[in-house]
Amino acid sequence: MKKKVFSIFLTLALSLSMGVTSFASSNDLSSDSDVCKSFSINEYDVVTELRSNSDQDLEEKGYSEDEIKEIRSDEYEQDLLKRSQLSDSELKSEFNYNEEQIEVLKNYEGEPIQEVPEMRAVAATCNGTVSCPTASSEFIYIKLNWKWTTAPSFRTVDAAAVRWKGTDTGGNPLNVALNNNASNSYCTVNYVYFAGEKPSTSVKKALTVTDSYGKAYSDFAMTKISNGDINQWAKSGELQIKVDKTGTKPIKEVAVCFSYGHSTVSASGVSVSWPAGFSISFSSGVTTMFTEPRRVSNTGSITSY
């Protein structure tokens, strides 16, 4: 990288850190328009963290020999290098980069990404929120929204998953059942065209329900084909659940854990597992971008789990 990029990187890093700090600070609020919990994950961090593991560590985490080779390859660098060859107008219209990010990208020469920390400023970042649209002692709606700042370099199959458990007003465990009506519990993925990021289609999917009393997920392709070309990508989405009380006892609160998995090696599908405790795991090749356990009360307030 050329040395002049360093000053640009400082400006970008400062603006990004300020943005993340503002985005991550949240209050326990009750309406859908209020941010209850926020997160922000950068693809650069995901790649460098994976590469920091030894081959043995990756094997113990379930990665195959071919997947480890893919992690060690320069696939990520090659994608960024291809982007650096595009015109400024293409980078603005297709990838939503600003002038400073474009200058950083134009000075990239294909070095191993872990040796070029300034490239974090141009890597795709996934931002999101957990919120509660409506709540009562009879039922609670809970929603995860996410949105990418630009198209991630790895675009195969991603997934969003959720698990939950209820408590009654006496503080005792309470079965709360997923209301799997398509208007209440679903996953919607919004695709845009690479050229100009014009809205394309929104795909609404029913959830894959592992346990009606506590576990569901949805996986989805990160790209779409139109007229024989891969010309659309999944920029944003939401996963919503509605859970209802069972029996006569009212709901006091529902503990909920959302997780987002991002494929960082070639994958045709995603499997989800539910470890003991209150967490979520994805199959090898799918990196857990975040796991957000929270408590949602029957008034709609959200607090730490």
Q: Please give the sequence-ordered ranges of beta strands (E in DSSP) within the chain, or none if there are none.
A: 37-42, 125-131, 139-148, 157-168, 173-174, 176-178, 186-193, 199-205, 208-211, 215-221, 223-226, 229-245, 251-263, 272-273, 281-282, 286-297, 302-304
Q: Write down the pLDDT at residue 63.
A: 87
> φ and ψ at 123, to 5 degrees?
-75, 155
**CATH of segment(s) 126-304:** 2.60.40
The CATH 2.60.40 portion of the chain extends over: 126-304
Q: Write down the pLDDT at residue 4.
A: 38
Instruction: Write the DSSP symbol of residue 135.
Output: B
Name the one residue in this structure whose structure tokens are 């328009």: 33
Q: What is the pTM of this model?
A: 0.81
- Residues in CB range of 299: below 8 A, 6 or more apart: 30, 135
Q: Write down the pLDDT at residue 52.
A: 94
Q: Write down the pLDDT at residue 199.
A: 67
- Rounded to the nearest 5 percent, the helix, strand and coil shares of the chain are 25, 40, 35
**Mean pLDDT of each 10-residue bin along the chain, 305 residues long:** 37 32 31 54 91 93 88 92 92 88 94 93 90 96 94 90 96 95 95 74 94 96 77 92 95 95 79 90 83 90 87
